[in-house]
Amino acid sequence: MLLISVVGFCQAPHKVYCEIVGTGNLSGSKISKVEVDMGQTSKQWSSKNRVLVNDQNEKIEFNSMMDAVNYFSKLGWNFVQAYAIAETQGMSRETVYHYILVKEVSKDEQAVEGIKLKE
């Protein structure tokens, strides 16, 4: 009798979180910048490299935070919570939108699939 044992080294499914932070423009009609915080400490995910770009390394423009959430939804992320903070600097005032998203993955690498940040 032949007995074959296969041991897999798959991680158990677990949740990973990210925060997308959007800054509104002066008119409030469009998001001027969306940054991504995945919590990683690698060079690619440093505070200088958190702006989403496409395959041509051009900044992705979003019409609203819901546009950004829909973009992430296509990558498997789900909405958890949102909050906004109004910031005033001198005579100008802008609103910063924070959206928390979650995704279930079986490998840590799956968290960043489809997400390219400014190099």
In a domain, 99, yes or no: yes
pTM (2 decimals)?
Answer: 0.77
In a domain, 46, yes or no: yes
In a domain, 90, yes or no: yes
Q: Which domain holds residue 60?
A: 14-112
Domain count, the chain: 1
In a domain, 117, yes or no: no
Ramachandran category for residue 28: left, alpha or beta (phi over 0 → left; psi -120 to 50 → alpha): left
In a domain, 9, yes or no: no
In a domain, 119, yes or no: no
Q: How far apart are CA 67 and CA 57, in angstroms?
A: 19
Q: 82 with 100: CB under 8 angstroms?
A: yes
pLDDT at 71: 95
Condensed to tens digits (0 to 9), the pLDDT of residues 43-80 reads: 444 455 578 888 898 888 888 899 999 999 999 999 99
pLDDT at 108: 85
Mark 3-22 as b/e (b = at least 16 C-beta within 10 Å). eeeeeeeeeeeeebebbbbb
Condensed to tens digits (0 to 9), the pLDDT of residues 2-52 reads: 554 444 556 689 999 999 999 876 555 677 788 888 886 554 444 555 788
In a domain, 18, yes or no: yes
